[in-house]
Amino acid sequence: MVNKSSMGNDSFVINGLMLWLVSLLVKGFVIQNFIVAVIAAFILMVISSVISFFVKE
């Protein structure tokens, strides 16, 4: 939870940047622009949070 409380907005931007850079390097993986990449990073964070809620270690 440290990531969500202290660096939440920054992590969306960093993860979005990583997705966007991967789309530039990998053929067949297309993200149209940086805003779409940030939205995709948010969706991935929500999915990850839901899965981690149900799967406890």
For residue 30, what are the domain limits?
2-54
pTM for the model: 0.72
Q: What is the pLDDT of residue 15?
A: 87
Tokens representing residue 14 in the block? 């960093």
Q: Which residue from 40, 33, 46 is spatially nearest to 4, judged by alpha carbons?
A: 46
Average of per-residue pLDDT across 22-36: 90
Q: What is the pLDDT of residue 3?
A: 53
Tokens representing residue 7 in the block? 């660096």
Taking residue 20's Cβ as centre, other Cβ atoms within 10 Å add up to: 19
pLDDT beyond 80 at 33: yes
Q: What is the pLDDT of residue 45?
A: 86
3-state secondary structure of 27: coil
Domain total for the chain? 1
